[in-house]
Chains A and B, each alone.
Chain A
Amino acid sequence: MREPSIIETSEHVAIEGLTQVFDRATRPLTALSNVNLRVGRGEFVSVIGPSGCGKSTLLRLIGGLLQPTEGRVDLAGATPAEAQRRKAIGYVFQDPSLLPWRSVIANVTLPLQVNRRRRGEDRRRSPHDLLHLVGLSQFEGYYPRELSGGMQQRVALARALVFEPSLLLMDEPFGALDEITRRAMRYELLRIWQARLPDGQAGDGGSGRKTVVFVTHSIPEAITLSDRVVVMSGSPGTVRAVIDIDLPRPRDEDMETQPAFLDYVVRLRRLLGEG
């Protein structure tokens, strides 16, 4: 018997009483304890916290890569497994995880080649257009090892967007990049996220934007990108606070020096420091 949906129509992700316990040889590890969170359609939410606070576990539970010990995840009325089957979840990891034997364009095409439905049913974007969007048009025929780390991560982003998922889960996607590339990628991601999609292609409330849950441990990154920042503390992982980031969009690098931005930095630093 299926449980009734817990989600509101304006919401995309609803998490209730989520607890994750890992069985280990020594003693069980509680990675998450009673986490509640709601993410609206087209909203950009960052999850920030110290290493080992369960941010990645939370993301994997939302994406259906893990089954929760307790509690539930509702993705617009569907379970994560159902969302996976519908190809509604785009995932970007810290490691670009490109297949080295596939060229750049073939890597971007990969999601279209698995879990295929009847012809015409698939939402999809042209891999060429996406590579153009991430600025890699000239590198279609290259192989991953010929690209820099930042370029590889752009390919991974294009790969996550090619099947038009309505939900994008990003697990410290820029964590392995150097500071300069990292900042550039931050604004690149904002530009891509804000780029309007052709009508009827996005699975959101008409804003043309995807819902994004973005795990990071960089405070400026979280503020620059997000509508809301979820601050977590560790062992076991719990939600400590949720901060609304009330800064105008589109955002640019000038914003980082403004008092409002710096206020948020101070607030978040304090919240994280107390953990």
Chain B
Amino acid sequence: MRVERPAPVAAVRHKAPRPARPAGGPADPESATGMPAVEEAARPLSLTRLLRLARRAAGDLLPPVSALLIAAGVWEAWVRLRDVPDYLVPAPSAVVARMAGDPAFFAREGLITLQGALAGFALGSAVAIALAVVMAHSRFLERSIFPLAILVKVTPIVAIAPLLAIWFGFGLMPKVFIAGLIAFFPVMVNGLLGFRSVNAGALELLQSLAASRLDVFVKLRLPSSLPYLFAAFKVSIPLSVIGAVVAEWFSGDRGLGRVIQVANNNLDLDTAFGAVFSLAILGIGLYLLTAALERRLLFWHESAAGL
């Protein structure tokens, strides 16, 4: 028997803004001045409009940048006032100077790490989604696969990382393996939840049309799972960078993980922290990219109107 659902809250419907269409316009339908975004886009590029865009960009950047500057300032002051030796903690100014002195070095090594992280993330996510699809369609397979997945999850990466050098040698493979392993679990768990979290009425509608499992998946399960998958991607992507670094630490010949390890051994903390900062830039960049893609694809989801 159908349990009656309460009537949806009317207010939610009425205050919902017109979602930004995938094709265009900024995600925020109303600018700070209350001008509809569509009109703004249509008007020619004038000085006032440029100023307004600049002001908005400044408004977006101001909070994170000022927080970062304050943290760096406190750190710098502490190092200078307490006269902390640079082989224990380097001053942020020294780290930035080191990075500015050889940006090509950090960019090159960073790119190598990024390569491994992205390849691992892609592979780990692909396997996770494939398994989630299979499990979403069969409780039996869910019960069979899930314990194995947990086994993989609880295996301490650090413990098996040295083995990977033996198994796969040095270079890209161990990185892809560990980054993939770390990215795998959140994507699988959320994917499974997402593929199952479909509107019951929409599912019955498709069943009443004798829609195939493939149709139900493509038309209903996959789009329904996107909010869950993106939540997982936002967790997994920075984690896969950590995975790549851990792999480089143990079995890398290149990359930021290797840079940190070598620099630590030489007590060259400016370089080690330079590599850490580079990783932070990588992680933030990947996260923001994922979030931007999410805003594009999930314009229809409640979360788009949640803030």
* B56 close to A (CB within 8 Å): no
Residue from the list B1, B19, B202, B207 in contact with A143, Cβ < 8 A = B19
Chain A residues positioned under 8 Å from B4 (CB to CB): 51, 94, 172, 175
- B199 partner residues in chain A, CB cutoff 8 A: 95, 97, 99
Residues of A within 8 A of B (CB): 31, 51-52, 54, 56-57, 60, 63-65, 81, 84-85, 87, 89, 91, 93-101, 110-111, 113-115, 142-143, 145-149, 159, 163, 169, 171-172, 175-178
Contacts of A114 in B (CB 8 A): 206, 209, 211-212, 215, 219
B210 touching A100, Cβ below 8 Å: no
Assuming the contacts A97-B202, A99-B223, A176-B8, asked whether A85 and B13 have C-beta atoms less than 8 A apart, the reply is no
| Chain A CB within 8 A of B208 CB | yes
Residue of A at shortest CB range from B305? A145
Across the interface, do A149 and B8 meet the contact criterion of CB distance under 8 Å?
yes
CB distance from B212 to the nearest CB of A (A): 7
Assess the B208–A64 pair: CB atoms within 8 A: yes
User: Interface SS of chain A: helix, strand, loop or mixed?
Assistant: loop
List 19 extra interface pairs beyond A94-B201, A145-B13, CB under 8 A.
Answer: A31-B1, A65-B204, A81-B210, A87-B209, A91-B208, A93-B204, A93-B205, A96-B201, A97-B199, A99-B219, A99-B220, A101-B223, A101-B300, A113-B219, A114-B212, A145-B305, A146-B16, A163-B209, A171-B2
Q: Are B201 and A87 in contact (CB under 8 A)?
A: no
Interface hub of A84, A94, A100 (most chain B Cβ within 10 A): A100
Nearest chain A CB to B303's CB is how many angstroms away? 12
A56 to B4, CA, bound (A): 11
Closest to A177 in B: B7
* B301 contacts A100, C-beta separation under 8 Å: yes
Q: Which of A56, A142, A163 contacts B2 (CB 8 A)?
A: A56
CB atoms of B215 and A176 under 8 A apart? no
Q: Which 9 A-B pairs have the closest CB atoms?
A: A97-B201, A114-B211, A84-B210, A93-B201, A114-B215, A101-B300, A56-B2, A85-B210, A100-B300
Contact residues in B for A172 (Cβ distance below 8 Å): 4
CB-CB nearest in chain B for A87: B209
* B139 part of interface (Cβ distance < 8 Å): no
Roughly how many angstroms separate A87 CA and B300 CA in the complex, as a whole number? 29
**Residues in B neighbouring A171, C-beta threshold 8 A:** 2
CB of B114 to closest CB in A, whole Å: 31
Chain B neighbourhood of A54, CB < 8 A: 1
Contact digits for B183-220, partner A, Cβ 8 Å, 1 yes 0 no? 00000000000000001111011111111100100011
Partner of B7, one of A60, A89, A149: A149
**Cβ–Cβ contact B201 & A63, under 8 A:** no
B13 contacts A148, C-beta separation under 8 Å: yes
Q: Is the CB of A56 within 8 A of B5?
A: no
Which residues of A sit under 8 angstroms from B206, Cβ to Cβ? 114
| Candidates A51, A65, A87, A115; contact of B212 at CB < 8 Å | A115
